[in-house]
Structure formats: C-alpha cells, structure tokens
Structure 1
Amino acid sequence: MRKGQITKEHIIRESAGLFNTKGYTGASLSEIIDRCGIRKGGIYNHFENKDEIAFAAFDYSFSQILVLLSKALGNASNSKEKLLAICEVYIDIIESDTLEGGCPILNTAIESDDGHPLLKERAQQAMTIFIEKLTMLIAEGIKNKEFKKDIDPEEVCSYIIAVVEGGVMLSKLFDDSKYIRHCASNVVQYIDNMMLIK
C-alpha cells in the first residue's frame, strides 16, 4: 500500500471516531488535524473539504458495524440466534465502546435530519442496507418454518430496529447500558411471543 493511501486511511479512521462522537457540526477541521497528527496541507492532499472527510468517515464507521454484525451472525445457528446476535452487537457497542461514539447511523440521522441533506442521505442508504439484510434474515426464518408465516418481515424489522436503536440512544444519553439491555430483552420477548412457531 502506498504511503498516500496509508495516510488517507489514517485520516478516515481517526475522523470517524471524532465525527461519531462530536457530530459533523461539533468536529472542527483543526480537531481532525490535531487528532491525525498531520498538517493542514496533508488533509487537503487527500480531501477537498470537510464534507468529503465526513462522508468517508461515515462509510468507514458503517463498514465497521457490518463487520461486527457479520462476525456475530456467522456464529449463530438459526434465525432467532441471529436476531439475538444483532442485539448483542449493539450491547457490545455500548458496553465495550467497540465503535467510538456508538451507532453511526443513529448519530448521523439525529444530527443531519434537517441540517445536512447529503449526510442524511448517507444515513438513509446505510439504514436501507441494514433493513434489507434484517428483512431477509426474518424471511429466511419464515421459510425455514422457524417463524410464523403470517408475520410481516418488514414490519418486524421496523420494530426491532426502532427498539434496538432506541436502547442505544437512551444508553448513550444516560451513560447507562441498562437501557440497551432492557430493549434487547424486549426483542427476545417479542421473538418468543409473536414470531416463533411453538
């Protein structure tokens, strides 16, 4: 890998944590420069402006979530276990700070809903990918006769995402992982009572 590419990836990684913690508005270019240990000109060798850095940083953070989810799903043997593994990833993000700042989709969606349409679009695209993967997982559970055939995968997907992301938001707000754990527990109850064929 060329030195320029190594530097660019370093900027993206360091900026990702900064943006995910402080937000687009809260993270200044001078903070990015300080955190990366690079001169201002070094930043502009790789990125035209702060927007470009923010987009690359968001994409990097989202790719990290996908890696964590992929590993967790790889260890699950059925659809219920896969859904629970997703909950565990988000518990781990809160309790172990696996991803600095928490969920980048949630953080970006909240910050950019009215203020930065291009970042909002990025968050929408990421959430669409997540929704598609989760919906397919639920549909697979129906096909394998694990989940009831009359459940609507899209509706279930919306519920699970809303509960889990709500738990993440409350846990970040109060610096207390009990909220994500409560919400994960509610997802378990929902799966057991509303989805599983008994």
Structure 2
Amino acid sequence: MSKAERTRQFIIEQTAPVFNKQGYAGTSLNDLTAATGLTKGAIYGNFENKEEVALAAFEHNLAFVSNGLRASATQTAPAREKLLALPRFYRHAYAELRARGGCPILNTAVEVDDGPPSPLRRRVEETLRGWRGNLVRIIEAGQQAGELKPAADALRYATVFMALIEGGVLLAKATNDPQALFTTLDHLEQLIETELVA
C-alpha cells in the first residue's frame, strides 16, 4: 500500500465506529479529526466529502458482518447449515457488534430510510436486497437438492429471517438485554428446523 492508501485506510478504520454509533448526521468533521488525530485538510485530502468517508466507513463496518457470516458456513455446506450459520454468527458476534455500536446495516438503514436519495441510502438498499437475494438462493438451492421443503416460499422466509435478526438486534441494544436477540435467534433456528428442513 502507498502512503496515501495507508492514510485513507487509517481514516476509515478510525471513523467507522464513530459513524456506526453516532450516524452520518450526528458525526461532525470535528468528530472525524478527534477520532483520527488528523487535520480537516488531511481528511479531505483523502476523501471528497463527509459522505464519502461515511460510505467507506459503512463498507468497513459491513465487512465485519459479511466476513463473519461467510466464515460461519462453507460454500459447499448443505442449505440447512448455511441457514443455521445466520443465528450462530449473530449469537457469537453480538457482544462485538454491540461494542462497535450495533449492526451497521440496521443503524444506517434507520438513519437514511426517510432521507433524500444519496449514495449511502442506495448502498444500504443494495445491501438489504443482496442479503435477501442470497437467502432466497440458498433456500431455492436447498429445495432443488431435496434438503428443504419444496413448498416453502423462499422470499417469505428470507424476509422473515432478516426481520427476526435485525429486530432482535434492535431490541437487545435498546433494552440492554442480549436475551431479546437470543430469543429471536432461537425462533429462527426453530423455523429452519421445523418448517424448512425436509
């Protein structure tokens, strides 16, 4: 990495938790300079504006979730295992997620959902559509392989799984009670085992 690339990466790593905890609107340029120890000129010498920093920070925060989910089940694992990797990851990663300010998908989605169109909002929408699409593909592949019940509505289950996870994270964080998340994850596992597995 060049010096400029290292500086850019440093800014992203230092500001990612700030954006995840305070949101785009709640994060000032002073917050960014305090987090990095850099001047405003140094930050804007590497990024065009605050939104570009926020977008890079979102990608950094999202990578923690995406990489964790990928590591929870191999590409060649059966569909059941790939689906159970969801609650397993969130159960084991919740303490770390909380320390990082919560789920970056949820945090950013809540902030931008009523805002005007922006690159950050479009990226959140892409992330949610991509996640749901990936779950649909896993379920449909499992149905084709005879692992999952053929009559199950893949899109419906994918949507419910996402709502259970994000809703559970929201309740756990808002009430300072991890059991709220674990309860929804227990229900998610039950749905997979009783309603989906053939």
The verdict on a shared fold, with TM-score over 0.5 as the criterion, is yes
TM norm structure 2: 0.93
Q: Which residue of 2 aligns with 1:112?
A: 112
**Cα displacement (A) at 1:18:** 0.8
1:31-180 alignment runs, 5 A limit: 31-74=31-74, 77-97=77-97, 100-118=100-118, 119-180=120-181
SS of residue in 2 equivalent to 1:97? helix
Separation (CA, whole Å) in 2 of partners of 1:17 and 1:76 = 33
2:197 equivalent to 1:196: yes
Separation (CA, whole Å) in 2 of partners of 1:92 and 1:124 = 26
Q: Which residue of 2 aligns with 1:25?
A: 25
Q: Deviations over 1:143-181 (max 9, x none)?
A: 221110011111110010011110011111112210110
| Inter-CA distance 62–97: structure 2 relative to 1 (3 Å threshold) | closer
Structure 1 residue identity aligned to 2:63: S
Structure 2 residues without counterparts, runs of 5 or longer: none
Separation (CA, whole Å) in 1 of partners of 2:122 and 2:92 = 27
**Cα displacement (A) at 1:116:** 4.6
Structure 1 residues without counterparts, runs of 5 or longer: none
Structure 2 residue identity aligned to 1:12: I
**Cα displacement (A) at 1:77:** 3.6
> Any conservation in 1 of the 2:33–2:39 contact (CA below 8 Å)?
yes
> Any conservation in 2 of the 1:73–1:86 contact (CA below 8 Å)?
no
Q: Which residue of 1 aligns with 2:188?
A: 187
Separation (CA, whole Å) in 2 of partners of 1:25 and 1:31 = 12
Identity %: 34
**Cα displacement (A) at 1:113:** 0.9
Structure 2 residue identity aligned to 1:139: E
> Any conservation in 2 of the 1:163–1:183 contact (CA below 8 Å)?
yes
RMSD across aligned positions (CA): 1.7
> Any conservation in 2 of the 1:16–1:54 contact (CA below 8 Å)?
yes
> Any conservation in 2 of the 1:12–1:56 contact (CA below 8 Å)?
yes
> Any conservation in 2 of the 1:19–1:54 contact (CA below 8 Å)?
yes
Separation (CA, whole Å) in 2 of partners of 1:81 and 1:107 = 28
> Any conservation in 2 of the 1:94–1:171 contact (CA below 8 Å)?
no
Q: Deviations over 1:86-129 (max 9, x none)?
A: 11222233223377112111111111111353122211011111
TM norm structure 1: 0.93
Separation (CA, whole Å) in 2 of partners of 1:7 and 1:170 = 36
More off after superposition, 113-122 vs 37-46: 113-122
> Any conservation in 1 of the 2:171–2:181 contact (CA below 8 Å)?
yes
**Cα displacement (A) at 1:142:** 0.9
**Cα displacement (A) at 1:63:** 2.4
Structure 2 residue identity aligned to 1:136: R
> Any conservation in 2 of the 1:24–1:54 contact (CA below 8 Å)?
yes
